[in-house]
Amino acid sequence: MLYIMSSGRAYGDAGTRERILQATWKLLLEGGAELRLADVAAQAGVSRQAVYLHFGDRTGLLLGLLAWVDETLKLHELLARVDQAKTGVQALERMVEVHAVYAPRIDAAARALEAHQSHDAAVAAALRDRLNLRRAAHRAVIARIAAEGDLAEGWTVDSAADLFFAVTLPGPWRELTGACGWSADQYAKRMSRFLHQALVVADR
């Protein structure tokens, strides 16, 4: 799942929309990827018609949830620390820290969207768009490292960005923090060490 701010158009009463999104989030946290609009409406204390008015359908609701989660969990503040890093290497470390902190917060929503993408073209397109933005953000960090003369020999900006992007995707994160039992702190430190040793000039 991508941790780049998403955008979305809001329809209807803001208070009702907020209740629907909070209810959707609660149900995903409690029940995993399965999500019925009738359950969302009941949890929010609104009619199914109200859910359709605000979001159109389940796809619209899930996509609206992306933007709401990013805003509610203050993703922009986490990403600001990456932008404010003094060096490209520090920016890389801070980006890994963003993944360590943010991934567990949004994993329920990520799993729901991933479950729907195989049969919902709109969700699949939205997720691909976010992944492309995520890769671009990783590439910007690598480009900065290269501009500062710290990219290890044998790597291009694109190939290094590919590695940085791929190893920090939700799948590896879930395996390392789930099956392997790494804590968030261990994930951040070990992944940063791995990427530093792989991509950064020695002794930098």
pLDDT tens digits along 145-198:
999 999 999 999 999 999 999 999 999 999 999 999 999 999 999 999 999 999
Adjacent-strand bridge partners of 151: 200
Q: Where in the chain is the domain with CATH 1.10.10.60?
A: 14-71
pLDDT tens digits along 99-136:
999 998 888 777 877 887 887 787 788 788 888 989 99
Q: Where in the chain is the domain with CATH 1.10.357?
A: 73-199
Task: Read off the pLDDT of each residue in 76-86 and give the average, rounded to a whole number.
Answer: 93
Overall CATH class of domain 14-71: mainly alpha
SS3 200: strand
Range scoring the smallest mean pLDDT among 33-42, 81-90, 93-102, 120-129:
120-129
Give the pLDDT confidence score for residue 137 in this predicted structure.
94
Instruction: Report the Cα 131 to chain-centroid distance in Å.
Output: 9
**Helix, strand, coil percentages in the chain from 3-state DSSP, rounded to 5:** 75, 0, 25
Question: 73-199: which CATH topology?
Answer: Tetracycline Repressor; domain 2 (1.10.357)
Encode 104-123: b = buried (16+ Cβ within 10 Å), e = exposed.
eebbbbbbbbbbbbeebebb
Q: What's the mean per-residue pLDDT of the chain?
A: 87
% of the chain surpassing 70 pLDDT: 92
Q: Which of 81, 78, 107 is nearest to 1 (CA)?
A: 107
